[in-house]
Structure 1
Amino acid sequence: MRFVDREDAGRRLASLLLDYEREQPIVLALPRGGVPIGYEVARALRAPLDVWVVRKVGAPGHSELGLGAVAEGGIVYLNRELMEEVGATDEDIQELVREQAEEVSERVKRFRGTRTPPRLQGRTVILVDDGIATGGTIRAAIEALRQIGPRKIVIAVPVGASQSLEELQPLVEDVVWVHATPSLYAIGAWYEDFQQVPDAEVVRLLERARQRHDASETRPAMGEAPGEEQEVSISAGDALLGGTLGVPLAPRGLVLFAHGSGSSRFSPRNRHVAAILRRHGLATLLFDLLTSEEETIDEVTAELRFDIDLLARRLVQVTDWAASFPATRGLAIGYFGSSTGAAAALLAASERPMRVGAIVSRGGRPDLAWDRLEAVRAPTLFIVGGRDSSVIEFNRCASERMSAPRELQLIPGASHLFEEPGALDSVAELAGRWFIQHLSRATLEEEASPA
């Protein structure tokens, strides 16, 4: 699966690095192509972003053969063994080192301006680029970083040549990638859009990342901060439903979760997906479709969890509540439905075609909303485990019945509950990309429509 662009690649890479958030890392991106990747990683980890400017020192007459590197701060790394092998002396490369040092200095000034260099000593550093082919430049960057003394170096790239990734592993504490391939002829072949990143875009992303991180450092206490989860009470007709709302800084949309049979807003699977969606910049609302009294009845009869009309009506009521709640007012709305909750999401979307901009179904039962599928207008993504054969067929038939934009994605080796390692992360990444693509489009269309 190719990346749409560097932004898409950065988000998918970020989902594999979430465990590093607790280490309060700093993300360093190799300019220019690594900066859009690093921006998404830094945002997901709530980490500062900066550039790490390194210029390779090529062998005299063979510039592609790296004998070392010059890094910002005047750090020079030379591979003495390789120099001896090619017969190069210090005098031979002295002028090359000087030229690259001047270029490093100029780029640092261009990208960082008057800001001071980041403090790296004793910290976890995540070094990011848009891909690794031979690994020469990033190897030189590692050697230069080691001279500063970070606590840990993590290399993170969307795609890399398998052999190069393997060779880098002994040099750092961790190497993380989305795709590894034995034959990487061109990094750009893994991207649908691999246009050169302008210097101005590098500066813009660095400034935007700095502002976001500064804002997160000064945000208020738990329960008041835009990025923190808070409990809410939602009036839905005669019912009062409990909910958990999380709104990140500058949210790109709001995702309402409709959980499956016999579950609640405390579903660990949905909470895991919601956490990843928030790191993608999406607000999330997990709520109970049933009141506590109804849940008590349902535990005995198991009837209400299959009352799709009731569940859909509650979802519509919560959608209307979210559209007027101060923290979420004006946000494009999407639905994430699981099992019977997916049927409720489809039915509710048919009732609110102008308000619901996208739907994702995880292991859903769209067949339970069969009569309303043709009325759904929201782009819909059906995600099913590759081993969930009966549900695959339900989703395939539902997809064929719909006229709205839709896709069916199978997670290889996954069962109905996506309990296999990495399966739920794959669901969250697919969902995040779907919501960002279609909710952004819904927002633009709404802004463009006449008042």
Structure 2
Amino acid sequence: MRYENRADAGRRLARRLEHLRDAHVVVLGVPRGGAPVAFQVARHLAVPLDLAVVRKLRVPWQPELGYGALGEHGVRVIDEHLLAESGLSATEREALEQHEQAELERRVRRWRGARSPMPLAGRDVVLVHEAVATGAVAEAACRVARVRGAAQVVLAVPVGQEEALAHLRTVANEVVCPRPVRHLGSVGAWYEDFAPVGDTDITALLAEAGRPSPAAGDGPAPERPSPGRPVEVPAHQVRIPSLLTLPPTARAVVAFAHAGSRGGSDPRSQCVATALQRAGLGTLLLDLLTGDEERNQHNVFDITMLARRLQAACGWLRRETGLRVGCFATDTGAAAALEAAAADEDIGAVVCVGGRPELAGPSALARVHAPALFVVGALDTRLLGCNHLAADWLRCDHRVEVVPDATHLFTEPGALETVAELTRDWFTTRLTRADTQVLTGSP
């Protein structure tokens, strides 16, 4: 799972911290890169934002190797093993640490200006950084929070190296990381946009965080899903019993395509549909086969028939609601959704979860114009290969998202929630964005 940018990472991370929403907490960002991530977390939780300023101690002739970190209030974390390997003499080390301490103090003055540090005594702290590699910087930041009097420290990072995270669990009271990895590599590789964060960016974020948050104001409460209503969707020679749910101010609607007769009870679809409805998107749960048809396994793999029925259902849905339509599909329904999108350019976006998109074939996949997201479990190696194969044939905006430690049905703890978040973000950024461009006449 790659993040679009630091703001996207912060929004996703914030959803993992909902249990802290009503707590008496302060969010501390580790600048530079952690500040934009922390800003989104603080805004989502409607709590104050401050900084935990830390400087990494790097070996001069091997800058990617950090043997420790310095923090405010005299905090110092040293990895003695890496220090010994570095070959730094005592004189070189002292000069380096004096230089970094001076730079740390300069940055504190530049970023905070006349602001006093946020009082932390007796309060819980959510410490946010953009990633964890060796863990030295995160450990130093945790110790800064402790020195400032924090009662509990929750370390939250979008991505981190497993070995370092395991150590940090002995330093922080809780570690939250949606994407633990064995080998982190370059931090920038986990972000599509990894633009540098400047001093003015950080001061602007602190200033903005001091203004009232819309989440804490008197604005409208989050929209609750409307009860669904049963409908019959005409699709060629059959009428498909379906469930249509439209929030009062729906911005788009998503057809859930199932190559069977029990799709509405699929936990994947139920979890995702609820997330879309809460985000202001309508949903249509429909089964592309009757019970009798499903007993013949040939029908489950008749991609052409399934695609025609789905295309007809999407046309009906557009006429019925007047909204842009996307498709969510699982299993062989994924291939049907892509074939339907290849034939119907009005299908605005497609998400395939645990599906067989390669069954659509190279010719159909090459004609798909709708942005397509494939979500597959990391432990489902067979489908992982199938999804990457299909992605290679696509010419449209597309992405393959791999959910760590998940199998075909995503029954592992937190896996379905990750699927729902990925799907919601794809449709809200692709499907509704396209709708806005059409309405405003933007290019």
Structure-1-length-normalised TM-score: 0.64
Aligned partner of 2:350 in structure 1 is 359
Aligned partner of 1:381 in structure 2 is 373
The answer to whether the 8 A contact 2:77-2:136 is kept is no
The alignment partner of 2:286 has SS state of: coil
Aligned partner of 1:327 in structure 2 is none
Once the two structures are TM-superposed, the CA of residue 231 in structure 1 deviates from its matched residue by 2.8
Unaligned runs of 5+ in 2: 58-65, 80-89, 92-96
- Matched positions, count: 405
* Partner deviation per Cα, 1:373-426 (whole Å, 9 max, x = no partner): 666421323334567688678767866776655556666775432224454355
Cα distance change of structure 1 residues 421 and 53 upon mapping to structure 2, 3 Å threshold:
closer
The answer to whether the 8 A contact 1:36-1:205 is kept is yes
The alignment partner of 2:355 has SS state of: coil
* Partner deviation per Cα, 1:321-346 (whole Å, 9 max, x = no partner): 4545xxxxxxx653222236545644
The answer to whether the 8 A contact 1:226-1:247 is kept is no
The answer to whether the 8 A contact 1:159-1:180 is kept is yes
Cα distance change of structure 1 residues 105 and 199 upon mapping to structure 2, 3 Å threshold:
closer
Could you tell me how far apart the structure 2 residues matched to 1:339 and 1:350 are? Answer: 18
The answer to whether the 8 A contact 2:54-2:69 is kept is no
2:21 aligned with 1:30:
no
Aligned partner of 2:194 in structure 1 is 194
Matches within 5 A, 1:47-446: 47-48=46-47, 50-54=49-53, 69-70=71-72, 76-77=73-74, 104-109=108-113, 120=120, 123-133=123-133, 135-147=135-147, 149-160=149-160, 164-177=164-177, 178-180=179-181, 187-188=187-188, 191=191, 193-202=193-202, 205=205, 213-220=213-220, 225-231=221-227, 233=229, 242-245=243-246, 254=252, 256-260=254-258, 261-263=260-262, 267-273=266-272, 283-289=280-286, 308=306, 309-324=308-323, 334-339=326-331, 341-342=333-334, 345-346=337-338, 349-350=341-342, 352-354=344-346, 356-364=347-355, 376-385=368-377, 404=396, 406=398, 414-425=406-417, 427-428=419-420, 430-431=422-423, 434-435=426-427, 438-439=430-431, 442=434, 446=438
Amino acid at match of 1:258: F
Could you tell me how far apart the structure 2 residues matched to 1:55 and 1:394 are? Answer: 44
Q: RMSD between aligned alpha carbons?
A: 5.3
The answer to whether the 8 A contact 2:410-2:416 is kept is yes
* Partner deviation per Cα, 1:75-96 (whole Å, 9 max, x = no partner): x3556999xxx99xxxxx99x9
Amino acid at match of 1:363: G
Amino acid at match of 1:157: V
Percent identity of paired positions between Structure 1 and Structure 2 = 32
Cα distance change of structure 1 residues 402 and 80 upon mapping to structure 2, 3 Å threshold:
closer
The answer to whether the 8 A contact 2:55-2:137 is kept is yes
* Partner deviation per Cα, 1:90-113 (whole Å, 9 max, x = no partner): xxx99x999966753552247xx7
Unaligned runs of 5+ in 1: 59-63, 71-75, 88-92, 325-331
Cα distance change of structure 1 residues 368 and 134 upon mapping to structure 2, 3 Å threshold:
closer
The alignment partner of 1:417 has SS state of: coil
Aligned partner of 2:84 in structure 1 is none
The answer to whether the 8 A contact 1:385-1:414 is kept is yes
The answer to whether the 8 A contact 1:49-1:206 is kept is no
Could you tell me how far apart the structure 2 residues matched to 1:394 and 1:99 are? Answer: 51
Amino acid at match of 1:361: C
Could you tell me how far apart the structure 1 residues matched to 2:46 and 2:394 are? Answer: 42
The answer to whether the 8 A contact 2:188-2:194 is kept is yes
Amino acid at match of 2:374: F
Once the two structures are TM-superposed, the CA of residue 34 in structure 1 deviates from its matched residue by 0.9
The alignment partner of 1:107 has SS state of: helix
Cα distance change of structure 1 residues 106 and 187 upon mapping to structure 2, 3 Å threshold:
same
Could you tell me how far apart the structure 2 residues matched to 1:335 and 1:39 are? Answer: 33
* Partner deviation per Cα, 1:349-383 (whole Å, 9 max, x = no partner): 456514x3321111335588779766642132333
The answer to whether the 8 A contact 1:265-1:287 is kept is no
Amino acid at match of 2:256: A
The answer to whether the 8 A contact 1:37-1:128 is kept is yes
The alignment partner of 1:230 has SS state of: coil
Structure-2-length-normalised TM-score: 0.65
The alignment partner of 1:317 has SS state of: helix
Once the two structures are TM-superposed, the CA of residue 312 in structure 1 deviates from its matched residue by 4.2
Once the two structures are TM-superposed, the CA of residue 48 in structure 1 deviates from its matched residue by 3.2
The answer to whether the 8 A contact 1:226-1:246 is kept is no
The answer to whether the 8 A contact 1:15-1:425 is kept is no
Cα distance change of structure 1 residues 409 and 214 upon mapping to structure 2, 3 Å threshold:
closer
Once the two structures are TM-superposed, the CA of residue 126 in structure 1 deviates from its matched residue by 1.8
Cα distance change of structure 1 residues 446 and 123 upon mapping to structure 2, 3 Å threshold:
farther
The answer to whether the 8 A contact 2:2-2:191 is kept is yes
The alignment partner of 2:226 has SS state of: strand
Amino acid at match of 1:337: A
